Each structure stands twice: as structure tokens, then as C-alpha cells.
């Protein structure tokens, strides 16, 4: 994923609180760019938890290069005070205005994502003197058009029976839905962003929202962005929003992810930067060939439920200690952990394979069997992290492995000829989001 290079990397900012009577609203400000920018998530958020997601940090990193950014949790969601029911559009607008004043912003650009786009459109029409420009992403004017009956029923089913398990990844970010680490992060996001009761009421309220009469009254510069294959909001709904706003510009982006931080976020940020500054700074990033090692605990949810939170945390800590010991022994480098998974890199595929075998043996001894995936490819280096198609391939190779199995791509098998490593042919596989078919091999160990 291309990124902008600049000297001040985005770091997790301090969470502050603005007050509206007895209600406290959580907000953060970061970035050192010249423009003021309000980034509003949809449908619910947790400002602190977003910084645990590498995709979000990379997104914020570039955004903060050309803007001073305000993020806030609407009342009833995230780190803001809970409420008995979902906030109305009027309350959400007030939350935005109070947060803008608390941050010391004068006339920011405002960005609204999915259902937050309706609140931001209403805000721009009501407070044009406080808005420099409006950016709507994955927007729709009528809630009932966005939440078709099948989607409405699916979301209610997730809320009632699987909230906190990460099922919303399939709706908001299908390109990463096969990555167990992403499912884990979405699960924790669901739990932290809003309770099932509040989310259910938000979903039930959505079909009643209709801002079609508001759109023609918007008089601030407006940019409407929409990904072509968005599974949540059909692109034609975004096009209708742009057509109803005088002078609005509509831009089609490629991709299938509804959440702005996933997919080709640089293409989205290119348009945002151009809108705010009149320029685009799309810098090349360092790329290097490396071998990626992914591990993931099998049936971790069930094991955690059996052990309880405290014992599971202790067991997970011991597992990570052993993984890091093996990674150090085989001269690898830890990149990150997420949930119960681990990602490391190696400058030699044979060492990565032997490390994977050692990790699998240690995990079996500890009673937490893991699946392991190894792939070699070109990655983008970014502030200690790695990105690019090779990372997605590695995660999907690991997802195909069974308990105790070290599975490698055909690329890895070809690179270790003569090393003494033996393989079992596991045939051709289609990896979600990756072109073509991939030949996979299991390591005999």
C-alpha cells in the first residue's frame, strides 16, 4: 500500500473529553498539516481502539501529513458516555459541533462515512459558516435504500447472535475477511464501539432516516467518494447523493471494502488531499523481497471460553514468549501480533520454515496447536510494519493450514530446493482476494 513519507509519523494521541451538560464526548486530535479536518466514522467507533489496527494507523499517518485531524465518538458509542437510546441526527450534529469547538477548530473540512454521511450533510447545510468543505464517503440519502431487507436481516442476526465475534468484517471489509487477525480485531471493535442493544436500535432507526430534501440546500464545496463494489452501500446511492448537491463532484474508486481504512485507501486519500490542498503527494515507498511467517492458534475462541480470561491470557503470553524465542533463534524479526496471531519476517525462506516447524512443535507441547503459513514476496516497508499483496497471500496461506501444519506457497518451495526440506503436495487453491490459483505444500516435519 503506497504511503506518504514525512518526518512526523502518526502516534496514538491523547483522548480528551468535551462536555454537553452531563454527557461527556471522547475526542482526539492528531496531525500537523495546515487544513482542519473532522473524520467521522460510521456507524459506531472507539477512538482509542482504532489505533490498534495497523491499517488505520497507516491511514491516519498520511491524513495527518496534510491536515490537523479531529476524531470523536458520538454519544452512546465508543469512549463517550452511554445513552439509553441511539442519538438522533440532531444530537449527533451537536456532538460534532461541541467536539469542533473543544478542539479549537474554526472552519474544518468534514468527512462522513456510511451512515455518518447523512449527519455530516445535515451539519454542512445547517452550519455552512463552520464548514470549509464536505466529503461524503459510501453515502446514501435514504436509510431504507441502503439497508435492503436481506442486509437488514443479516445485521440483526449478527447483533442478536454473534455480536463481538467479528462477523461484520464480511460487510465492512471483505478483502480481509479471511484473515483471522482481522476477524479478531473486528470482534473487539464490535464490543468496544457499542453494545448490542444500542446497535440494534441504530439499525432499527436507519430505515426511517431520509435527507433527500436537505441535499439541494448544501452550499459548501462537496466531494462524494464511493467504491465500485461496496457490499453495504450500492454505488448508485452515492451517485444520487452527488447529483442532488449543487456543484458536488462524484468520484468512483475501485474496491469492495466499505470501511475507508481498508482496501486501496491511498486512492481515497489522493482525492481527499487534492480536495483539501489542491495537490497530491504520492511518494514511493521502500520495497524489499522477504519471507513472511504467519501463525494462528486453532480454535482459540473455544479454548479461551473453556479456560476463562485470566488463564487464557497467561497461556497466550507463554505462547508468544516461545514464538519470540524461536523467531530470535532463526534470526527473524517480529512485525506484530493481533488477537492470537503472529507475523514475523525472515531474509531466508528455509529459516522461516524451520522456525515455523519449531513454533508448531512448541505450541503442540503447550496445548495450543497453531496453523502456520509461509510465503515469500515483495513487501512495502513502513515504519516497522510491512504491507502489500504478499502480506495478504501469506495470511491466506496460513488460513488454509490445519492444526500443527506448516503450509507454504509454491514460491517458497521453489526457493528452498536443495535445503533438505521435504514437502507434501496439497494441490491448487484459490485464495480470496488474490488473482489466480496458488499451489500449496505442507512441510514434512
* % of residues, the chain, pLDDT over 90: 58
**Preceding omega of 43 cis (within 30 degrees of 0):** yes
Q: Cα(63)–Cα(317) distance, rounded to whole angstroms?
A: 34
Say how many residues make up the chain.
445
Residue 3: pLDDT band (50, 70, 90) is very low
pLDDT reported for residue 87: 83
pLDDT reported for residue 283: 52
Q: Cα(328)–Cα(336) distance, rounded to whole angstroms?
A: 14
Residue 268: pLDDT band (50, 70, 90) is very high
pLDDT at residue 189 is higher than 70: yes
Please count the CA atoms within 13 angstroms of the CA of 209 that sit on its side-chain side. 25
Give pLDDT tens digits for 217-231: 999 999 999 999 998
User: Distance from first CA to last CA of the chain, Å, rounded?
Assistant: 35
pLDDT reported for residue 58: 86
Q: What is the arithmetic mean of pLDDT over 358-364? A: 94
Q: Are 211 and 122 within 8 A, CB to CB?
A: yes
pLDDT at residue 281 is higher than 70: no
In 3D space, the residue among 179, 150, 239 whose CA is nearest the CA of residue 54 turns out to be 179
pLDDT reported for residue 12: 82
What single-letter DSSP state applies at residue 81?
Answer: P
pLDDT at residue 442 is higher than 80: yes
In 3D space, the residue among 183, 249, 166, 193 whose CA is nearest the CA of residue 49 turns out to be 193
Residue 392: pLDDT band (50, 70, 90) is confident
In 3D space, the residue among 27, 42, 60, 46 whose CA is nearest the CA of residue 259 turns out to be 42
pLDDT at residue 155 is higher than 90: no
Give pLDDT tens digits for 34-88: 999 999 988 888 999 999 888 898 899 899 999 999 999 999 899 999 888 778 8
Q: Are 74 and 80 within 8 A, CB to CB?
A: yes
Q: Are 107 and 132 within 8 A, CB to CB?
A: yes
pLDDT reported for residue 151: 83
In 3D space, the residue among 38, 48, 117 whose CA is nearest the CA of residue 78 turns out to be 48
pTM of the model: 0.68
Q: Are 111 and 230 within 8 A, CB to CB?
A: no
Give pLDDT tens digits for 13-30: 999 999 999 999 999 999
pLDDT reported for residue 2: 30
Q: Cα(401)–Cα(153) distance, rounded to whole angstroms?
A: 33
Give pLDDT tens digits for 191-215: 998 888 888 888 888 888 899 999 9
Q: Are 393 and 409 within 8 A, CB to CB?
A: yes
Q: Which residue has the higher pLDDT, 144 or 60?
A: 60
pLDDT reported for residue 290: 94
User: Any idea which of 55-69, 108-122, 168-182 has the lowest mean pLDDT?
Assistant: 168-182
Residue 4: pLDDT band (50, 70, 90) is very low
Q: What is the arithmetic mean of pLDDT over 154-171? A: 88
Residue 111: pLDDT band (50, 70, 90) is very high
Element (H, E) at 208: none
Give pLDDT tens digits for 306-317: 888 888 888 889
Find the radius of gyration of the CA atoms of the chain.
23
* % of residues, the chain, pLDDT over 70: 96
pLDDT reported for residue 85: 77
pLDDT at residue 160 is higher than 90: no
Q: For CA atoms 143, 145, 151, 157, give the dihedral sign.
A: positive
pLDDT reported for residue 385: 83
Q: Cα(222)–Cα(275) distance, rounded to whole angstroms?
A: 9
pLDDT reported for residue 285: 56
The structural domains of the chain, ordered by start, are 16-277 (3.40.50.1820), 287-443 (3.30.70.1230)
Q: Are 12 and 51 within 8 A, CB to CB?
A: yes
Question: What is the average pLDDT score of the chain?
Answer: 89
List, in order, residues 6 or more apart from 401 with CB less than 8 Å away.
371, 372, 373, 407, 442
pLDDT reported for residue 319: 93
pLDDT at residue 7 is higher than 60: no
What single-letter DSSP state applies at residue 74?
Answer: P
Amino acid at each position: 500500500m503506497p504511503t506518504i513519507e514525512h518526518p512526523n509519523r502518526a502516534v496514538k494521541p491523547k483522548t480528551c473529553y468535551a462536555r454537553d451538560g452531563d454527557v461527556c464526548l471522547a475526542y482526539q486530535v492528531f496531525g500537523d498539516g495546515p487544513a482542519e479536518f473532522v473524520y467521522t466514522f460510521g456507524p459506531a467507533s472507539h477512538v482509542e481502539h482504532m489505533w490498534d489496527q495497523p491499517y488505520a494507523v497507516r491511514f491516519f499517518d498520511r491524513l495527518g501529513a496534510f491536515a490537523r485531524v479531529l476524531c470523536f465518538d458520538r454519544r452512546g458509542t465508543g469512549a463517550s458516555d452511554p445513552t439509553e437510546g441511539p442519538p438522533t441526527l440532531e444530537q449527533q450534529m451537536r456532538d460534532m459541533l461541541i467536539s469542533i469547538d473543544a478542539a479549537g477548530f474554526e472552519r474544518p473540512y468534514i468527512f462522513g462515512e456510511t451512515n455518518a454521511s447523512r449527519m455530516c450533510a445535515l451539519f454542512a447545510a445547517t452550519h455552512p459558516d463552520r464548514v470549509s468543505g464536505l466529503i461524503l464517503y459510501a453515502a446514501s440519502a435514504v436509510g431504507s435504500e441502503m439497508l435492503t431487507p436481506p442486509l437488514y436481516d443479516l445485521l440483526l442476526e449478527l447483533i442478536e447472535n454473534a455480536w463481538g465475534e467479528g462477523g461484520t468484517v464480511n460487510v465492512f471489509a471483505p478483502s480481509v475477511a479471511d484473515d483471522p487477525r482481522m476477524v479478531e480485531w473486528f470482534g473487539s471493535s464490535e464490543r468496544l464501539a457499542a453494545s448490542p442493544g444500542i446497535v440494534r436500535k441504530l439499525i432499527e432507526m436507519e430505515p426511517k432516516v431520509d435527507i433527500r430534501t436537505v441535499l439541494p440546500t448544501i452550499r459548501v464545496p462537496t466531494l462524494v467518494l464511493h467504491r465500485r463494489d461496496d457490499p453495504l452501500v450500492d454505488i448508485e446511492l452515492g451517485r444520487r447523493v452527488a447529483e442532488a448537491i449543487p456543484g458536488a463532484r462524484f468520484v468512483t474508486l475501485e474496491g469492495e471494502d466499505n470501511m475507508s481504512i481498508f482496501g486501496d485507501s491511498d486512492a481515497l486519500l489522493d482525492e481527499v488531499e487534492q480536495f483539501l490542498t489542491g495537490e497530491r503527494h504520492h511518494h514511493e515507498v521502500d520495497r524489499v523481497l522477504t519471507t513472511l511467517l504467519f501463525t494462528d492458534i486453532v480454535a482459540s475462541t473455544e479454548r479461551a471460553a473453556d479456560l476463562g480470561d485470566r488463564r487464557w491470557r497467561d497461556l497466550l503470553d507463554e505462547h508468544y514468549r516461545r514464538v519470540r524465542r524461536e523467531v530470535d533463534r532463526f534470526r527473524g524479526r517480529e512485525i506484530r501480533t493481533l488477537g492470537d496471531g503472529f507475523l514475523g519476517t525472515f531474509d531466508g525462506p528455509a529459516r522461516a520454515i524451520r522456525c515455523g516447524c519449531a513454533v508448531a512443535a512448541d505450541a503442540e507441547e503447550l496445548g495450543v496447536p497453531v496453523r502456520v503459513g509461509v510465503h515469500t514476496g515483495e513487501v512495502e516497508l513502513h515504519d516497522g510494519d510491512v504491507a502489500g499483496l504478499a502480506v495478504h497471500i501469506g495470511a491466506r496461506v496460513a488460513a488454509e493450514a490445519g492444526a500443527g501444519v506448516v503450509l507454504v506457497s509454491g514460491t517458497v518451495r521453489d526457493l528452498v530446493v536443495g535445503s533438505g526440506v521435504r514437502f507434501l503436495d496439497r494441490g491448487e487453491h484459490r485464495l480470496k482476494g488474490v488473482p489466480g490459483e496458488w499451489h500449496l505444500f505442507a512441510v514434512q516435519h
